[in-house]
Amino acid sequence: MSAAVTSLLVMGAVALVFGIIISLAYSKFRVEVDPRVEEIFDILPGVNCGACGYPGCQNYAEAVASGAAPPNKCTVGGAEVAEKVAAIMGLEAGEVEKVVARVLCIGDREKSVWTADYDGPQSCAAAHVAGGAGKACSYGCLGFGDCVEACPFDAIHMNDKGIPVVDEEKCTGCGLCAEACPRDIIIMEPVKNRTYVFCRSQDTPKRSREVCSVSCIACGICVRLAPEGLKMEGNLAVVIDPEKVTDQAIEKCPTKVLFRI
Amino acid sequence: MELLVIFISALLINNFVLHYFLGICPFIGVSNRLDSAFSMGLAVTFVMTIAATVSWLIYYLLLVPYHLEFLEIVSFILVIASLVQVVEMFIKKVSPPLYQALGIYLPLITTNCAILGVALLTVLKKYNFIETLIFALGAGLGFTLAIVIMAGIREELEFADVPETLKGAGITLITAGILALAFMGFSGLV
């Protein structure tokens, strides 16, 4: 009983003394900072995703207040936040183009070939290091969902066949999923672009055909039909201008890996 | 002579990182670059010395007279957390460049177990006030030494051809282990 009372008193006294010291120190050593930093920080989403190029929202707020960064770098907050931040700074907001993640692989469990069983750690990064978890294609999606775990906005989910699907509404374009993907299948693209070759395979045409039914086999038909819309990068056709990819090119793709979403 | 032995022993032989394996978090986390590792080391030394001496005062002037020795961990944590707060505000006011250099490391020190370890060990070893001061100083400088050596090695490692699976944390931990082995060589010093 007495020990409880004395410990309560002593600890209370010590805590009180330290509390007073801290509050005194705070009032004595307070540093005036630009009040706009705090205002901007309050408006920012506060998720510290780093999409703006700064380590966190605090750093970005400081950079904007000091004039080092434009007010429209926050892709998470979008146009709304950019306008408010610009209003504080007395600037024009400028356009914030909505960017979303695109998953460039549709080789799900049914369409691609799997040659081995894998029961190691259930993550793409581990499976990738271990040679690909038995998926024959060494470029395709492994399906363990590292991207799903990386997403702070619940905007990417695995479908029932093991390919991640991006929820465009929720996706803020922070790019954390693209970073998490060991196979670089996920790219960040303006939301208005909707036409892609949904494959990243650089395998030879023969090998591509063997390992996946929906891979780019580098036949070059789409590039011939729409030379301004696509080009070959090694063994892979890549969309360079979605506007100029013709319907005919999409139709003629033998593996149906070039399409619009 | 006694004080020198305490100092050398805390600095090299019973090095806090490489012998006690305390404070591994900043040791691994902040040893990417030499200059930030050095700042971190100095910040730890600074806080460690103050925290250990104030903890010593609290223990022998408050806890022992009232027979409250069982509260040492709680009160030491309180001391360390408050001190770091005050030190942070003080540095922010007095020397903005130093504050910029230390950055997030200062608040990180609050949860550094090496600091609490020093405070607890001074009680365990029944050091007097001067010995506590020397011990904490040695321990802090030992931490600085270890983290600076580590950062130096890691800067060189950037250019090394590390096997894919060992990149990052793996090779860092192996390096730390070998470094600890090397420090074992000091054990016959005193």
- Work out the mean pLDDT of chain A and round it to a whole number: 85
Is B148 a member of any domain? yes
The predicted-structure confidence for A50-66, as pLDDT tens digits, reads as follows: 777 787 788 888 888 88
SS3 state at B149: helix
Of B74, B93, B165, the CB nearest to A31: B93
Is B189 a member of any domain? no
pLDDT band at A93 (very low <50, low <70, confident <90, very high): low
For chain B positions 47-66, those within 8 Å of chain A (CB to CB) are 58, 62-63, 66
Tokens of B167: 């990149």
For residues B104 and A15, which has the higher predicted lDDT (pLDDT)?
A15
Is B1 a member of any domain? no
> What mean pLDDT do residues A219-244 have?
88
All domains of chain A in start order, with CATH? 35-89 (1.10.15.40), 100-191 (3.30.70.20), 193-261 (3.30.70.20)
Is B81 a member of any domain? yes
H-helix or E-strand spanning residue A83? helix A78-89
Q: B-chain residues within 8 Å CB-CB of A48?
A: none
Nearest residue in B to A128, CA atom: B165
User: Which structural domain, as residue segments, surrounds residue B49?
Assistant: 7-183
Please tell me if residue B32 touches chain A, with a CB cutoff of 8 Å. Answer: no
Q: B-chain residues within 8 Å CB-CB of A18?
A: 78-79, 82
ipTM more than 0.85?
no
User: Which of the listed ranges A77-81, A214-218, B83-87 does the model predict with the highest average pLDDT?
Assistant: A214-218
Is B188 a member of any domain? no
Write the CB contacts of B149 (distance below 8 Å, at least 6 apart in sequence): B179
Q: How many CB pairs below 8 A link A and B? A: 51
- Confidence (pTM): 0.56
The predicted-structure confidence for A117-160, as pLDDT tens digits, reads as follows: 888 888 898 888 888 888 888 888 998 989 998 888 888 999 88
Q: B-chain residues within 8 Å CB-CB of A21?
A: 82, 86
Beta strands in chain A (DSSP E): 99-103, 156-158, 164-166, 186-190, 195-197, 230-233, 236-239, 258-260
* Structural domains counted in chain B: 1
For residues B92 and B143, which has the higher predicted lDDT (pLDDT)?
B143
H-helix or E-strand spanning residue B34? helix B34-58
Is B89 a member of any domain? yes
Q: A-chain residues within 8 Å CB-CB of B92?
A: 29, 31
pLDDT at A119: 85
Is B2 a member of any domain? no
